[in-house]
Amino acid sequence: MGFLEIQSPANVKPFNPEQVKTFRAPKYGGVTLSLLSMFVLGSMMVVWNKLPSDNSSMSLRVLCDEALRKPVEEGVSQFEKEMQISVSLEFVQSQGKQDGYDLYIPVERNMAKEDDAKTPAVPIAFQSLVLATRKNYPDKLRNLDQVLEKNLSFAICRDSSSCGVALEEALALDGRWTQVSSRGKTTFASSLEAAVSLASAKELDAIFIWDSIARQFDLQIHHIKELENVSGSIKAIPGKDQTKLAQSLQLARFMAAPEKGQFYFAKHRFIGVNGDAWSENPTLYVYCANQSKGLMLEIFEQFEERERVSIDPHFLDQEKIPLTIGLIAKSKAKHSLPDLVFGSMGEELSGKSSLYSEPFIHRGNQVPVYKCNLSRFPYTTRSFIEFLQATEEDKN
């Protein structure tokens, strides 16, 4: 059987589905497009997080003595990772001008320009006063008599430096200051200048300086008996830029915190400080007698502004303060004790309890102020007492 071949008319065009103008479903549905958008956004977030943060306007500028390089670099590195705050570190061999910096960390403070009591300066480490010689000095010196008997040519620092003041105060107590100062060959403005002179010239045999500077210059350290308890604090001093004061104090407290920066200072043989437990936003829990409320509220606000901390005040009738603290002291919740108490503790409680320091009497209203010995913020509570004292001195 043959097949019949059907031919299309010449004027009939072949069917082309792309030319059909009727509605057709989109190739990708709404759910698909939403998922695609989320994927693109997520990818962009990953890229942004990996880009180096350009926080130049918010970056903290820190000026620090070279002798503190290792612990400060390591501590700041951890701070940057945890806080996501950029820090620009600059190290100097000598006391530099701190203008333009957000935080200044010197080893040797100029006592003639000592920090104002109203300017917060956070202790981050201690250093010891020692006698230093060059590495090749053959003997080990242990007391002043040995130093004087060997007729060493030694130098001391002037009383314009923290090192010079510490040496004079320590030896004056033993009645040795006049003897030592009269035998000294020369004086220097700082430990750093003395160390440079000892390391570069042979006219000197020994110098009395801070041990941090002696280690920086790789000098031999001699711990002298008469100076065994003499130490000086190394403080982080905020700059004048109020817009970065909160972050500057955060970094300073981070370096002073036992579980943070103190690890690095101990690692590099510095003496630790009793710093506050780490908190991004420290808050002092305070009890205050109602009779002092009007006066203390203003002082609380001033201290909060100065230190960039918070104060959580609880106002009670005077007779309820010792009762409330006594109940907490007998419980297992001693961590709930207030950091500061403004008001009388009562004779019975103040006589038996070792939880609080001896009171400081605030002259403004003759109210005793107690500092909790178990406070998580020992530096800040101590700083508040010092702030009260400075405020009173200004009024007198």
Q: Residue 56 has what pLDDT? A: 42
End-to-end CA gap in the chain: 130
Phi, psi of 105 (to 5 degrees): -125, 90
For 37-48, the pLDDT digits (tens) are: 665 565 555 444
Dist. CA 233–CA 226, nearest whole Å = 19
> What tens digit of pLDDT does each residue of 197-249 get?
999 888 999 999 999 999 999 999 999 999 999 999 999 999 988 899 999 99
Judge whether residue 101 has pLDDT over 70: yes
Cβ pair 282, 375 in contact under 8 A = no
Look at the domain 126-232 and name its fold: D-Maltodextrin-Binding Protein; domain 2 (3.40.190)
Query: What SS3 state is found at 369?
Result: strand
Tokens of 216: 């920086």
Interval 115-133: pLDDT, tens: 455 578 999 999 999 999 9
Which position has the higher pLDDT, 28 or 364?
364
Sequence-separated (6 or more) residues with CB below 8 Å from residue 205: 133, 137, 152, 153, 154
CA 90 vs CA 65, 195, 239: distances in Å: 8, 21, 14
Stretch among 6-10, 254-258, 363-367, 373-377 having the lowest mean pLDDT: 6-10
Q: What is the rounded distance in angstroms from the CA atom of residue 265 to the CA atom of residue 105?
A: 13
Q: What is the pLDDT of residues 286-312, one digit of tens each?
A: 999 999 998 899 999 999 999 999 999
Residue with the bigger pLDDT between 342 and 33: it is 342
Nearest Cα to 124, choosing from 238, 246, 236, 237? 236
Q: How many CB atoms sit inside 10 A of residue 73's CB?
A: 14
Q: Which of 29-43, 71-85, 104-118, 344-358 has the lowest mean pLDDT?
A: 29-43
Q: How confident is the model at residue 109 (pLDDT cuts 50, 70, 90)?
A: confident
CATH 3.40.190.10 fits 283-395, yes or no: yes
60-124+235-267 CATH, one of 3.40.50.1700, 3.40.190.10, 3.30.360.10, 3.90.1150.10 = 3.40.190.10
- The CATH 3.40.190.10 domain(s) of the chain lie at 60-124+235-267, 126-232, 283-395
